[in-house]
Amino acid sequence: MKKVLQFAGLISLALAAVAFILMMATPAIIQTLVGDTQTVYAGTTAIFGKTTSTDVIIGTLTNTTKPSVLALIGWILILVAMIILALGVILPLLKVKALEKFSGVLEIAACAALVVAGIFMFLVVPTFYGANGVKPEDIPSGAAIGAGWVIGGIVSIVAGAFAILPACANFFGKKK
C-alpha cells in the first residue's frame, strides 16, 4: 500500500491526462438518425462550440453550435486538477516542511475537481442540446454519449479517488 501511496499523485496525474485527452479527442455525442446515418459531435464542439460557414448560390450559410456549459466547466476542472496534481508531485521534492500540510488541501481540491468533472462528462447530452435551444422532451431518442466520454468520465472519477488516497492515509494513519 505504501508503494501505491508514494505514486498516487503521479498515477492520478496520468489518469487525469488520459481523461483530458479522451475529452478532447473523442466524439462527445453520437446521434443515430434514420437507418445507420449518424451525426457525430466532436468533444471540442461540445466544449467550445463551433461555427461553420458554407457558401451557397445566394450568399453564405452560417451554422453556430453553442457549447455545453457543463462540458466547458468539466474541461476547466480537469485542467485545474492536472495543474494541482503536478504541484502535488513537485512540492514534496522541494522538501519544505511548511508545504507538507498544504499538499493535503491540494489533494482534496484535485479530488473534488476530478470527481465533479467526471460527473459533468456524463451530463453532456442534455446540456449540449439545451444550450442549442432543444427542450428536454425534444432531445432526439437516438442521441447518446460517446464511448470516449464515458471512459473519460470513469477515468476522471478514478483519478479523483487516487488523488485523495494520500490525504486519507495521513488522516487515518494519525488516529490511533
Q: What is the pLDDT of residues 101-132, one digit of tens each?
A: 677 788 889 999 999 999 999 999 999 999 98
The better pLDDT of the pair 160, 91 is held by 160
The grid coordinates listed for 5 are 501511496
**Residue 145 near residue 125, CB atoms below 8 Å:** yes
- CATH code: domain of residue 49: 1.20.140
Sort residue 46 into left (φ over 0), alpha (ψ -120 to 50) or beta.
alpha
Number of structural domains (the chain) is 1
* Statement: residue 30 has pLDDT above 80: yes
pLDDT band at 35 (very low <50, low <70, confident <90, very high): confident
Domain-embedded: residue 28? yes
pLDDT band at 54 (very low <50, low <70, confident <90, very high): confident
Report the SS3 class of residue 29: strand
Domain-embedded: residue 42? yes
pLDDT of residue 63: 81
Domain membership of residue 130 as a residue range: 2-171
pLDDT of residue 174: 61
Percent of the chain past pLDDT 70, that is, above it, reads: 90
Longest dimension (CA), the chain: 79
Domain-embedded: residue 176? no
Report the SS3 class of residue 60: strand
What residues have CB less than 8 Å from 57, skipping those under 6 apart?
A: none
* Statement: residue 80 has pLDDT above 70: yes
Domain-embedded: residue 137? yes
Between CA 33 and CA 138 the distance in angstroms is: 14
Neighbours of 122 (CB within 10 A): 17
Between CA 72 and CA 48 the distance in angstroms is: 7
pLDDT band at 89 (very low <50, low <70, confident <90, very high): confident
The winner for highest mean pLDDT among 59-63, 82-86, 104-108 is 82-86
Domain-embedded: residue 67? yes
